[in-house]
Homo-oligomer: A and B are copies of this chain.
Amino acid sequence: MAVKGEFRTIDRIKNILLPSHRKDVKVGIGDDCSVLDVGLEKEYLLLGSDSIVDGRHFLYNIPDRSLIGRKAVGVVLSDVAAMGGYPLALTVDLGVPDYIESEHLEEIVFGMKFLLDLFDVDVVGGDTVKSDVLYLSVSVVGKVEKEKVVLRSGAKKSDWIWVSGPLGGSLYKRHLLVSPRIPEARFLVQNFHPTAMIDISDGLVRDLFHILEKSNVVAELVKDKIPVHKDARDWEEALYMGEDFELLFTLSEDESKRMMASIGSLLYRFYPIGKIVDGGAVGLYLRDGRSCYPLSPRGYEHF
C-alpha cells in the first residue's frame, strides 16, 4: 500500500487528498495500511490496497499462473503484517483483456485461494471488468489490537534494526511466491514491542529510509550482519533489489537483547542487522569492517 514511487505527481495527488479530516482515521496515507478507529473497544481496523499489472509486476506468460493470484493477495496481506495485524477480508478487482483464457483466470484465482485458506481470509466482493491489460487490484480489511499497532514512525535512538529473513535475488523468481509474514508479525507484537515496522517491497535501503524519515532518526547497518538470500547474485541485491516481503522492524535495546538471548529457541528466526544511532536527523550508513559509507535511498523503482 501507500502511494509508491518517485514521481512528483504522486506527491501532488497526496497533497490534493490530504489531510485526512475524519476523526476516526488514526493513520491515513503514508504507512503500510491506514488505521481506523471505527468504535471497537480494543482494536483498530486496518485498510490497504495494492495493484499488480501484467508486464510490470508479473508476466502473464509464465508456466504457473496461480502465482499471479498469489502475489496479488500476498502483497496486500504483507501490508497488514507490517502493521502487526491480521487480515479479515479482501475485495478483488480484475481487469481482464480478451486474450485471457478462462482456465488461466481460474488458475490465478486458485493462487489467491491458497493464501486465503492459509490465513482464513475471505474475498467478499470485487469487480471484474474488461481491460486492455491484465491487472489485479486487491484491497484488504484487517484488525490489530490498539496497543499492538506498529507504525513506521516509532524508531528511537539505540533501537536495534531487525529483518525476518534473508534478502536479495527475489526478482529472479521468488517475487511471485509471496509468503506474507503474518504469523511472524503476530508473534512479534504478542511477545515484543516493535517500535517501527514495514515490509520490504522497495528494497531494504529504501524501505528503511521510510522508517528513518517517519521516525526522524539515523541508522547504521552492519554489512556482515545482513542475511543474504541464496538466490542473490550479489550482496548488494540484499540492499536494493526489493520484493523480499520480509518484515523490517526496530526493537529497543533491552528487547533486542531479550530476543538475542532466546534466538534459536524462538518460533521464528529474526536477524539483527544494525542500529538506530542518532535522532533529530535522517540518514543511513553502512558499516563494513572499519569503514562506514553513507547510503542513499535508491532501490528498485516499482512505479
Contact = CB atoms under 8 A, between A and B. Distances in A.
Contact of A51 (B1, B28, B127): B127
Give the one of A17, A133, A137 with max B CB within 10 A: A137
Interface string A3-47: 111011110110011001110110111000110101110010101
A120 B22 CA distance: 7
Nearest to A131: B53
Nearest to A31: B125
Interface in A40-66: 40, 43, 45, 47-53, 55-57
A56 B96 CA distance: 12
Given A106-B12, A127-B49, A89 B132 contact: no
A124 interface: yes
A215 interface: no
Interface residues of A, number: 75
B130 A53 contact: yes
Interface string A113-148: 100100011111111111111010101010100000
A91 interface: yes
A49 B9 contact: no
This protein's copies in its complex? 2
A266 interface: no
A69 to B, nearest CB: 10
Interface in A173-194: none
B38 A45 contact: yes
A133 B89 CA distance: 27
Contacts of A36: 88-89, 124, 141
A303 interface: yes
A25 B50 CA distance: 22
A130 B22 CA distance: 30
Given A28-B122, A47-B141, A48-B91, A17 B128 contact: no
Given A109-B16, A122-B25, A302 B34 contact: no
Contact of A39 (B40, B110, B302): B40
B102 A20 contact: no
A47 B125 contact: yes
Interface of A: 1-5, 7-10, 12-13, 16-17, 20-22, 24-25, 27-29, 33-34, 36, 38-40, 43, 45, 47-53, 55-57, 88-89, 91-95, 102, 105-106, 109-110, 112-113, 116, 120-133, 135, 137, 139, 141, 143, 302-303
Given A49-B139, A51-B137, A56-B131, 7 more contacts: A1-B126, A3-B128, A39-B43, A47-B141, A49-B126, A51-B127, A56-B130
Q: What 3 A-B pairs come out closest when comparing CB atoms?
A: A34-B124, A139-B139, A137-B137
